[in-house]
Amino acid sequence: MKINIPETDKKRIVIVGGGFAGLKLALKVARNKEYQVVLLDKNNYHQFQPLFYQVAMAGLEPSSIVFPLRKAFRKNQDVYIRVTEVKAVDTANKQLETSLGICNYDYLVLAIGADTNFFGNQKMAELAIPMKSVSEALFLRNRILSDFEKALSTTDYDERQGLMDIVVVGGGPTGVEVSGALAEMKRYVFPKDYPELNTDEIDIYLVQGAGQLLVGMSEQSSKKSLEFLTQLGVKVRLNTLVTDFDGEYVRMNDGETIRARKLIWAAGITGNKLKGMPDASLTHGNRIKVNRFNQVEGIEDVYAIGDIAYMEEDNYPKGHPQVAQVAMQQAQALAKNFQLRHQGKELIPFSYHDLGSMATIGRNRAVVDLPRFKFQGAFAWLVWMFVHLFQILGVKNKVFVFLNWVWNYLTYDQSLRLIIRPRVPRNGDVEVES
Ligand SMILES: Cc1cc2nc3c(=O)[nH]c(=O)nc-3n(C[C@H](O)[C@H](O)[C@H](O)COP(=O)(O)OP(=O)(O)OC[C@H]3O[C@@H](n4cnc5c(N)ncnc54)[C@H](O)[C@@H]3O)c2cc1C
């Protein structure tokens, strides 16, 4: 069965993935009206991943950080959105196998992003909590809140510790931001919500394999983030690896064992795989090798952009960092090249312009590395908030997030901490609590 999309005289660009890269590309190409655009995503919304941790910490409602794909294209007639999972690609016949049927393309752009990398550890994949989608962030929120409810009726000290303590694995921006946010909840929120519990007993651990935090950032930022987290009471373990987790105890390679039911895994990502993509096109981290025009090497009319794409440049001999700026800049460059191709002009190779990187650790505590200078503290925190607010899609979302942050700043409180459980099917395969 063929997917129901009208065939026209225009060449069809099929974009798989409505994340930072795919959505930007679709918006740009649609504006020029030279091609028919088909955007396929398994969700009907775009997710703003940098703020997942605030959803997980009940600081923001999920609706503030997602944006419906259809709303983004209300004014575009020649854009066809289909909510479907792409299962395989047949590059010889230029078609995709999707859950809705077969979709043919003239040009295919893979913007399928990445997923959590558990490095082949099946046990970890089953028991640890990742944060790579808004549903995973909500799952974490439910687990934190449900475990605190359980802790209220647990008289055994060790068991209560297991319910309240949290281990975060991975000292990159996500791990640092989550640990900081948890430490602030321990300080400002939990004592008000759970006065019957001794919240001083809560321990937040951050376990990092390397000898420093925020490895991709400046030494200054990495040192300052450690200082900020330590001030907030986070127990940071550098040069340490988690070797085992059975859902109750976390074991580390230095011999330490922590009783904690929640292990948040923020230790790495791996490219989403698509059946039919030849192994030769994949490189480390399951990324797809592309040339400077984002064309997949050796496959005609197939492109990859964003986290899934691996492109080498003189300044980036090991590929670009997997961040939103790269995804958006590649989308913009590819849209321009589609236009140039339509006009029969020469294509322009992509060059990444690093605008800087940043991470927030908590109220008045952030680190910012700009190409020319670096700064940390309260001003960095304001810059972090401004940049993220600017990037969120939708005026309503910007207003809601801004109001939430102001409210949070003034009251030391966050949005409502509701435990909203998805319906559990009778076969019980959705875990909401155990
Ligand atoms: C918790 C977290 C925090 C982050 N913080 C920052 C930050 O502060 N700053 C920063 O620059 N970057 C940050 N990042 C990284 C940033 O979010 C990514 O670099 C960016 O999302 C990459 O964009 P993308 O379009 O390549 O992929 P994504 O945004 O991941 O989009 C991929 C899309 O493809 C869809 N998809 C995947 N497979 C299929 C399929 N088979 N069929 C249909 N649809 C499919 C997905 O549903 C998704 O919509 C963060 C990431 C995470 C997880």
Average pLDDT over residues 134-158: 93
Query: Is the C-beta atom of 24 inside 6 A of ligand 1?
Result: no
Return the residue whose CA atom lies nearest to atom 39 of ligand 1. Answer: 112
If you measure from the C-alpha of residue 114 to the centroid of ligand 1, how many angstroms do you get, rounded to a whole number? 6
Which atom of ligand 1 is nearest to 98's Cα?
Answer: 42
Neighbours of 218 (CB within 10 A): 15
| Confidence (pLDDT) at 423 | 65
| Confidence (pLDDT) at 409 | 81
If you measure from the C-alpha of residue 187 to the centroid of ligand 1, how many angstroms do you get, rounded to a whole number? 31
Query: Is the C-beta atom of 149 inside 6 A of ligand 1?
Result: no
Query: Is the C-beta atom of 391 inside 6 A of ligand 1?
Result: no
Could you read off the pLDDT of 29-77 as tens digits, one per residue?
Answer: 999 889 999 999 999 999 999 999 999 988 888 888 999 999 999 887 7
Query: Does pLDDT of 102 surpass 60?
Result: yes
Could you read off the pLDDT of 296-313 as tens digits, one per residue?
Answer: 988 999 999 999 999 999
Question: What domains are defined for the chain?
Answer: 12-115+269-342 (3.50.50.60), 122-267 (3.50.50.100)
Query: Is the C-beta atom of 113 inside 6 A of ligand 1?
Result: yes
Which atom of ligand 1 is nearest to 114's Cα?
Answer: 30
Could you read off the pLDDT of 398-426 as tens digits, one per residue?
Answer: 998 898 888 888 887 776 677 777 666 66
Query: Is the C-beta atom of 368 inside 6 A of ligand 1?
Result: no
Query: Is the C-beta atom of 86 inside 6 A of ligand 1?
Result: yes
| Confidence (pLDDT) at 434 | 36
Give 89's Cβ-side CA count (13 Å radius): 23
Query: Is the C-beta atom of 21 inside 6 A of ligand 1?
Result: yes
